[in-house]
Amino acid sequence: MAEFTMELNDEQKEVRDWLHGFAADVIRPAAAEWDEREETPWPVIQEAAKVGIYSLDFYAQQYFDPTGLGIPMAMEELFWGDAGIALSIVGTGLAAVGVLANGTEEQIGTWVPQMYGDANDVKLAAFCSSEPDAGSDVASMRTRAVYDEVKDEWVINGTKTWATNGGIANVHVVVAVVDPELGSKGHASFIVPPNTPGLSQGQKFKKHGIRASHTAEVILDDVRVPGSCLLGGKEKLDERLARARERAKAGGERVKNAAMATFEASRPAVGAMAVGTARAAYEVALDYAMTREQFGRPIIDNQGVAFQLAEMRTQIDAARLLVWRASWMAINGKPFTAAEGSMSKLFASETAKKVTAQAIQILGGNGYTREYPVERMHRDSAIYTIFEGTSEIQRLVIARTLSGMPIR
């Protein structure tokens, strides 16, 4: 087990500096253009693939870093560049985590490489869980998967929403209901291979922020996938469902569902994204406050500005500490006995919203214009308190974990 430390080793520092350079030289110059276009920034993704950032090898190296700091470090640097473009680069990772969290070794080896492709043929993947009537309330999910025993196929029907890369992805990971009587315990995850008949893109959303990231509905109309596309396999699913039925009869403990396993693994990474955006806005505000003069002196000479910057930096550092702690705990198998993963996501996401708003205030009228990046950063920051579990849901998870009570 790796010891928890705040000191990056030489290899990690080298990777961090490399990512920072890519974010500064490639992502940032393109950020405003793709935000305005509201389109997937294919040239940037392709450049990331060419240098090795958008690749299975890079993702695996960071994911399996024994310190747990590889992924949060990478997320912070890329999202420091721009949240929308960075999400386009890392969005495939959520689907990959879904396979890693629920799939067999054979499934991981087969499908995760196909999610990325290579530098000459870039691929994308999408994780599809939310539905029009089932966001935070996963028990209300309606997408159904029915097993056709004769053909050894699963037939999936339903509509997914808020899917990053939804409809344009080569590989989709879909969470569906296999036993409606078990509520959220009766869910399973499925791989939908490329060009599977019946899967189509629905509405593409025009968003407040992260506009360079493609977000859309995914329609599943009699989608048939082989039995081998059930993540974890049918034997494991049948065993899990049987345990869930027994516990339901006995009023016993809850069983984690497929979507929650994915979100638990990714929440500290979302916190790291928020830290990157907050840090970017803070740095713009600090530079502006040191160079902008009013009444014959830099505005940072005023306590009202200086104290805001001090608070901004303190909150960013505190958020990073929580994210790194949760990431270290996760890679080393430490249970989140106090919902530390949710803590990190909650605090970091709320920090990003607050810090970006403070940055606009420090820049004044300039901060409200698109001539400066902080207004875009503020729009982007709103997503962190919403996706992969709203701040309200994070507080509920934390409270239930601490108390053991079914708080509603």
Q: Encoding tokens for residue 201?
A: 């893109």
Q: Are 181 and 230 in contact (CB under 8 A)?
A: no
75-88 CB burial, b ≥16 within 10 A, e <16? bbbbbbbbbbbbbb
d(CA 311, CA 333): 33
Nearest Cα residue to 382 out of 206, 209, 162: 209
Q: Is 39 part of the annotated catalytic residue set?
A: no
Could you say which of 11, 131, 388, 392 is catalytic? 388
State phi, psi for 158 to the nearest 5 degrees: 155, -175
Catalytic residue ranges: 388
